[in-house]
Structure 1
Amino acid sequence: MHTFLHLSVVSIFVSQMANAVPTDTDPAGFSHAYQEYNQAVKANNQTDIITYARQAYELGAVKFGVDSLDSAKLAINWANAIVEQSKQKNSGRVVQDNQVEKAQQLFEFALGVYRQQLTENDIDIIDPLIGVAQTTADDAYANKVLFEAIEIAQKSDHELTVAEVKTLAFYRLTGTEFYTRTVRNFAVDAYEIYVSKLPENAIKRVNATYLYGALNEAMGKHTKAIDALVEVIKQYQALPYSHPHELRAHALLVDIYQKRGQRDKATEHCVAIGKMTPWSEQQEQTPLFRTPPDYPMSYVSRGKSGWVKLQFTVDEQGFVQSPQVLESKGGSLFEKESIEALSQWRYAPKFVDGKPAKGTSTVRLDFTLG
């Protein structure tokens, strides 16, 4: 299952709907439903948003005609409410189920109306195209409509829309067979547009900078990655809350600096993460940098598998100290390789009363032949 993102590239309700709604009499109840929907959106009340989005669509279809542009836009509102509900239930991911299938049907309906009533490259068509891409389980279809959306955005000569659509296309197609160099470069294109068009503290620009840094880290372009990730941290530190990208930027920098042998710089970011995140003695801590243990060749030839559970101390700088075997299965060489590997790992230190302190954690390393 893929991760999809919610789009709001252009206004989803841009018609003269307000002028079309009578203010005196409304026997079908559309005015009330639509007003309640708007109030729910302002209050960020997801339950009411989805309830009144559906009512507004169903009543609007009667009022304006099922194949009208207004009905199509009301369908998009309802579909987006379904998508948002799915994201909230599934920690930011849209998971395919009957409700999301309903959202796709609504987006498809809206897309059909838009194609009939708008010009071929009208920018409003981008909304249902992206909606279809985010709700379909068919990667090939998603790829097709996303490239159409990008083409329309480019012909509109609105660079910020191009950047947003390319970013969404990158996330939707990552992890599919349609993730190509072209798709990867969508993230770079978006970053360059945001840098040229938005102030350095604009959230969309900072998010694009994080993605640009992460891509360069993955490609081994560490200098570019460092510059981008340091900029991300700088901007998010000005916020009154911790942003996930700030944590991830610190974590990527730990990995980069460790690989480059710059342990002191890695320590700076280990400590920063420790300050931002809680420590629990009751669970395994997540390593910020790790090297896998070597599989003993003598065990490979004999087909041996096993595991090792270790306890260790994370010092004030995030280094591993005093790794000890608690339990193991398979042989002493697994224990030896586990200790050697774990000694090179880095963690975020525990914080007590605002200061880094030593903490104890455990980890289990599994040795399994393919």
Structure 2
Amino acid sequence: MKKTLLRLSIIAACASHMAFAQPTDMVTGAVDFSTAYQHYNQAVEANNQADIITYAQQAYELGEVKFGADSIDSAKLAMNWANAIVAQSKQNNNGRVIQDEQVIKAQQLFESALAVYRLKLPENDIAFIDPLVGLAETTADDAYAKKVLFEAIDIAQEADNELTVAEVKTLAFYRLTGTAFYNRAVRSFAFDAYDIYVSKLPENAIKRVNATYLYGALNEAMGKHTKAVDALVEVIKQYQALPYSHPHELRAHALLVDIYQKRGQSDQATEHCIAIGKMTPWNEQQEQTPLFRTPPDYPMSYAKRGKSGWVKLQFTVNEQGFVQSPQVLDSKGGSQFEKESIEALSQWRYAPKFVDGKPAQGTSTVRLDFTLG
């Protein structure tokens, strides 16, 4: 059986002799390593994040004394604590890892674990992927993140472990997006992962569905609307089987509204507007929410004269998410700005307002600014 990427499945990884608890010292009241490690495993089982961090730290500090700082067991204990810190950061920051003292500590733990692995394990052992990925998540240095992620991808490919390749490439895509190192090669990681998941996993596997969403979103951004529609419809189909609404299902509907509106297929766009309004997480008193907005054209005559301005409008969103009765409340700069604003606003689409769980008309206001850069 091939080794798998342990860190990504959040499994406590230590030698088997760690699992046997020994009693607390009855004289001093101090907790020994085995008891701390048992408490850690119980916290993981109960998904108690606060206790996971507490006992992961305790097990690491006691284990380092028991096994030695340069032992594989201590390295794995270090990663347990580091992973707990990363999980808490994501929990507190909407899925993102935000640099603070704790995350810096996690980075140091991953560094120490990697140093031990390089000393103790064969070159390019697949176990290197765990600390490498951890470092990419915790470092603020984008260049360093790219370096360790590319090393992790090379190791996964050398091990011929396709699912691990897909997982690391997906992580690399998300970590490097928005940095100076995002390019066509990094974008291709998402497509590579999608191809692997489609060939290796059933259609309802969560990793495959998430990869399908990303595949659809990227194709939409690239203007490949047919591929995007096929992928996004598949995402919605799979998530509708769940008893709750997943954020990717919401985003898939929103992207389809955008695509269909650009194609002039208003009926299809309306279907997805209404579907969003009916999704489980939404409050029954949900206000209308914008899904598709196109900016107004800048009047050429005004641009030539260097004119700038703004327009404030009020409008109604009907039960199907269409904008109706746009009215200018105030403006600056000239009537052409008002004309272009009304024309653009008429093309906008919304998830409709819901009152007592039923779609209803609602009013809204917006200010559109016209500035020359």
Give the TM-score normalised by the residue count of structure 1.
0.92
Contact map agreement 2:173 2:190 (CA 8 A) in 1 = yes
Q: Does 1:19 align with 2:22?
A: no
User: Letter of the aligned partner of 2:208 in structure 1?
Assistant: R
Structure 2: runs of 5 or more not aligned: 1-5, 26-30
Judged with a 3 Å threshold, the aligned counterparts in structure 2 of structure 1 residues 205 and 21 are, in CA distance, closer, same or farther, namely closer
C-alpha distance in structure 2 between counterparts of 1:8 and 1:112, whole Å? 17
Q: Distance in 2 between matches of 1:197 and 1:260?
A: 34
Contact conserved, 1:289 with 1:347, CA < 8 A, in 2?
Answer: yes
Report the alpha carbon displacement of residue 331 of structure 1 after superposing the two structures with TM: 3.3
Q: Distance in 2 between matches of 1:292 and 1:159?
A: 43
Report SS of the residue matched to 1:362.
Answer: strand
**TM-fit CA distance, 1:180:** 2.0
1:257 aligns with 2:254: no
Shift of 1:295: 2.0
Q: Distance in 2 between matches of 1:199 and 1:15?
A: 31
Corresponding residue for residue 238 of structure 2: 235
In the alignment, the residues of structure 2 paired with residue 56 and residue 135 of structure 1 have an alpha-carbon distance, to the nearest angstrom, of 21
Assess, with a 3 A threshold, how the Cα gap between structure 1 residues 126 and 10 changes in structure 2: closer, same or farther: farther
Name the aligned partner's letter for residue 195 of structure 2: E
Q: Which residue of 1 aligns with 2:342?
A: 339
Are 1:100 and 2:98 counterparts? no
User: Which one of 38, 42, 60 corresponds to residue 39 of structure 1?
Assistant: 42
Map 1:1-370; keep pairs closer than 5 Å.
8-9=7-8, 13-16=12-15, 18-20=16-18, 23-24=21-22, 29-276=32-279, 277-278=282-283, 285-370=288-373
Distance in 2, Cα, partners of 1:237 & 1:10: 25
Alpha-carbon distance between aligned partners in 2 of 1:319 and 1:101, rounded to the nearest angstrom: 48
How many matched pairs?
Answer: 361
Structure 1 CA distance, aligned partners of 2:189 and 2:125? 22
Query: Which residue is equivalent to 1:3?
Result: none
Q: Which amino acid is 1:336 matched to?
A: K
TM-score between both structures, scaled by the size of structure 2:
0.91
SS of structure 1 residue aligned to 2:350: coil
Q: Please, which moves more after superposition, 23-32 or 73-82?
A: 23-32
Q: Shift in Å at residue 352 of structure 1?
A: 3.1
Q: CA RMSD in A?
A: 2.0
The alpha-carbon deviation at position 305 of structure 1 amounts to 3.0
Q: Sequence identity, in percent?
A: 80
Shift of 1:115: 0.8
d(CA) in 1 for partners of 2:355, 2:138: 45
Query: Whose RCO is larger (CA < 8 A, sep 6+)?
Result: 1
Shift of 1:332: 3.1
Query: Which secondary structure does the structure 2 equivalent of 1:185 belong to?
Result: helix
Q: Deviations over 1:38-72 (max 9, x none)?
A: 12212222111111111111111111111111111
Please list every run of 5 or more consecutive structure 1 residues that lacks an aligned counterpart in the other structure: 1-6
